[in-house]
Amino acid sequence: MEAKPWQDRVREEDELVEQLQLLVSESAKRRAEALREGVDQLGSVAEVARALGKSWNAVYNALKKQGQKPAPDGTGDTTTT
């Protein structure tokens, strides 16, 4: 059996990387939506972080990256950027 040419292998891997990047992006959006629901339910980013065993920064940054920036005071209010 003959091995695929390197150009074909690179092309296939590029396609796989694109698919994976799309999946990661979609997952990050869904995760941010869930975090937003948590903030609405629990009242603050800090409470969500505590409930998940994560840092406040990790939760805040996940929301911020998806344009769901919580208010700095942690009240749960948001501004869309």
Amino acid occupying residue 37: E
pLDDT of residue 81: 37
Per-residue pLDDT of the chain (81 residues; tens, 9 = 90+): 789 999 999 999 999 999 999 999 999 999 999 999 999 999 999 999 999 999 999 999 999 999 876 655 555 444 443
pLDDT of amino acid 69: 63
DSSP 75: S
Whether the predicted model's global pTM rises above the 0.85 cut: no
Q: How far is CA 52 from CA 27, 30, 48, 58, 60, in A?
A: 17, 16, 6, 11, 13
